[in-house]
């Protein structure tokens, strides 16, 4: 069975998971594929998965407002020093997203000396939410699940001076 097909067993588990978190789940995040990712990522172990998912859903509804984060301008002061990667549909692999993160240009030491960990997390979470939005849009367009098809390409061009 290809990963894009949702089996009857998965549909039952998705419904069970959705029911368990219905009070925390937002309409934006409530997709079969998002819930299926949680199930697959935790080997369908509800005892481990539910506390983590509830915590994640609380964060989504916090003042960070993760559901809207990808729609906001990418203009946190940290973004001046941590340039955006390149994200988009793969050309040769159908139903896949490619994310290229060019880390060699980033001054990590300078960033952690300048910004609080909270600010770094907020700025980087926006990048992850942009990636999630790309995934969700492709899944909505194709009707196919993207799982295990996210090749992360990291180009290193590091020159460190101490």
Lowest-confidence segment of 61-65, 66-70, 86-90, 121-125 by average pLDDT: 86-90
- Distance of alpha carbon 11 from alpha carbon 88, whole angstroms: 28
The pLDDT score that the predictor gives to residue 146 is: 85
The pLDDT score that the predictor gives to residue 161 is: 40
Lowest-confidence segment of 59-68, 71-80, 87-96, 126-135 by average pLDDT: 87-96
CA–CA distances in Å: residue 93 to residues 6, 43, 52, 122, 146: 20, 26, 31, 31, 11
The pLDDT score that the predictor gives to residue 48 is: 97
Question: Rounded mean pLDDT of 48-58?
Answer: 97
For the stretch 97-115, pLDDT in tens is 888 877 777 888 889 999 9
For the stretch 114-142, pLDDT in tens is 999 999 999 999 999 999 999 999 999 98
For residue 154, the cross-strand partners are: 101
* Sheet of strand 97-102: strand arrangement: 86-89, 97-102, 152-155
> Given the structure tokens 């390409």, which residue do they identify?
153
The pLDDT score that the predictor gives to residue 148 is: 57
């Amino acid at each position: 069975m290809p990963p894009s097909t949702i089996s009857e067993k998965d549909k039952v588990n998705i419904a069970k998971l959705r029911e368990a978190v219905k009070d925390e789940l937002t309409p934006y995040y409530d997709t079969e594929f998002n819930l299926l990712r949680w199930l697959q990522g935790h080997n369908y172990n509800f005892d481990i998965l539910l506390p983590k998912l509830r915590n994640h859903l609380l964060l989504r509804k916090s003042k960070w407002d993760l559901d809207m984060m990808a729609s906001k301008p990418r203009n946190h002061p940290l973004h001046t020093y941590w340039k955006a990667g390149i994200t988009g549909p793969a050309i040769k692999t159908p139903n896949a997203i490619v994310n290229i993160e060019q880390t060699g240009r980033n001054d990590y030491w300078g960033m952690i000396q300048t910004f609080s960990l909270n600010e770094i997390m907020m700025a980087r979470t926006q990048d992850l939410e942009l990636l999630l939005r790309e995934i969700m849009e492709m899944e909505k367009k194709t009707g196919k699940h993207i799982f295990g098809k996210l090749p992360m390409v990291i180009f290193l061009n590091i020159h460190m001076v101490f």
